[in-house]
Amino acid sequence: MTKVQVRELVFEKFITAAEIDAAVQRVADAINRDFSGKNPLLLAILNGAFIFASDLMRKITIPCEISFVKYASYSGTASTMEVRELIGVEEVIEGRSVIVVEDIVDTGITMDKLLKEIREKNPEDVKVACFCFKPAAFQKSFSIDYLGLTIPNDFIVGYGLDYDGQGRNLPDIYKIVK
C-alpha cells in the first residue's frame, strides 16, 4: 500500500484518482439530469472543495455559474466545533437554484450553518453536493442530495483535503495510519 507523509503524520492510499473521477462523474450526471433547463449557482466552500468543484464544473454540461464562500472549523486533525465565516455569500440568490459544493461532511456543523444562511436569502431551492460523507461523525439532520462517496470516520488528505494546509495537491485520497 502506498504511503505518504504530510507534515509529521503518515497516511496510506485509500481512494484512487480513478475512483475519484468516477464518483465526480456520477454526481455531475445527476446534476445534469435534475437541473436540465435551469442555470444553477454552484456555491463551493473553500479551501477544500475547490478541486472537487473544478472537476465537477467541467463535467456539468448544463448552463451553470460558480461562486465561493470560505468557512473554517478545523484545527489540525479535529473539528473545533466552531464555524468561522471568512468569506460569505456575495451573490444575489433569491429565486435561484443553489447547489452547495463541499469536499467532505463529517460533523455537518459547517454545512448546517451555511444552509441556514442561504435559506434566509430565499433561493428557489438549495441542494448539497458533497464528495465525501462520514455518517459516523454526522451530528445534523440535513440531507446530502448528491454524494460522491461514503467513508469511515478516518482523517483523510488529498484531492483538496488537507492537514494544516498540506496534502491538498495529492491526486488520490489517503487516510491516516493509526
Please indicate whether residue 125 is annotated as part of the active site. no
Residue 72 CB neighbour total at 10 angstroms: 14
> Which position among 55, 103, 106, 162 bears the catalytic label?
106
User: How far, in Å, are 5, 15, 17, 68, 130 from residue 11 at the CA level?
Assistant: 6, 12, 16, 29, 22
| Catalytically annotated residues | 106
